[in-house]
Amino acid sequence: MAEKPPALARSGSLNPRDNMDSPIGSPLGHHREHQQHVKSSNHHVMTVNEMCASPQGPPLDYSFLEIRVVDELREVQPRSGFRKQPPDFLEDESGQHVVNPLKDDWVKAPNDNMRTEALKMGNNFLTALPPAFNIIIREVLNKPRNLSWIDLSFNHLEEVPTVLSSYANLNVIYLHANRIRKLNTAQCLVDLPKLRSLTLHGNPCEQTNKNYRLLVTGMFTHIKTLDFTTITSIDREKADGFYARYLRIKETTKSKSHD
């Protein structure tokens, strides 16, 4: 049965219980205001007993923090979840070592074996996810290669981040409500072996491609849901046939242009 797509309102989660108002004020001021909230909210995601019993921890939540570049993950306390222990000192722009502002606010996970496999970065101002993401993610996650779920919705991304293709365990990727114009930039994700759910709706590429859903479904042969709607066997058959014809026409056009 097809899932009902949620409204495209700015939210850090598609679960209405997780929705919160967009932050206001300067980024640094906002981050500081949330320090006390973060320390308490970590204990409301699930009970301590539940967390100790489960090896999979809650998502690491960096949504609604007005983040503009991924480097800010180094100096921003997550809204909830348990990040890797931050270093005691950071290097500033002049090369001097300064005390890490996260040092005193870091919250240790209740279970040393707990795995964080989900990352929420929606409702920020990211325009790109550069290769440096691979370095920074190792500083916030103990085992970044286990990343299986990422939310980058409601940002300002102009292309599908190619860096995501490095994470073979990704099962869910949310990219809706960005500024992605070229649908073909999503090709970088087609070889992710475990990808089952993808969102791209609310981007310009949805409006500029008449057969948007057929193209994306045909491009991603293993996904089970697109834009929160289940891909039925009939949908799959139609999309596979359409995409095969699309590739043949594209190849014929390319060959003629070289004649």
Please answer whether residues 218 and 242 qualify as being in contact, where contact means their C-beta atoms are separated by less than 8 angstroms.
Answer: yes
User: What is the CB neighbour count within 10 angstroms for residue 190?
Assistant: 13
Q: Return per-residue pLDDT of the chain as tens, 259 residues.
A: 444 444 554 544 444 334 333 333 333 344 444 444 444 444 444 555 554 555 788 999 999 999 999 999 988 999 999 998 887 777 777 778 888 778 778 888 888 888 899 999 999 999 999 999 999 999 999 999 999 999 999 999 999 999 999 999 999 999 999 999 999 999 999 999 999 999 999 999 999 999 999 999 999 999 999 999 999 999 999 999 999 999 998 888 776 666 5
Report the C-alpha gap between 234 and 251 in whole angstroms: 26
Residues linked to residue 115 through DSSP beta bridges, in sequence order:
56
Q: Give the whole-angstrom CA distance, residue 251 versus residue 184.
A: 15
121-to-48, 80, 96, 148, 218 alpha-carbon distances in Å? 24, 12, 29, 14, 28
Start-to-end C-alpha separation, the chain: 48
Rounded to an integer, what distance in angstroms lies between the CA atom of residue 189 and that of residue 220?
Answer: 8
DSSP letter assigned to residue 162: G
DSSP string, 35-102: HHHHHHHTTTSS-HHHHHH-SB---EE-TTS---SGGGGGT---SBS-PPPPPSEEE-TTS-EEE-TT
Question: What would the pLDDT profile of 94-149 be if each residue is shown by its tens digit?
Answer: 778 888 778 778 888 888 888 899 999 999 999 999 999 999 999 999 999 999 99
**Comparing C-alpha atoms, which of 205, 194, 83 is closest to residue 149?**
194
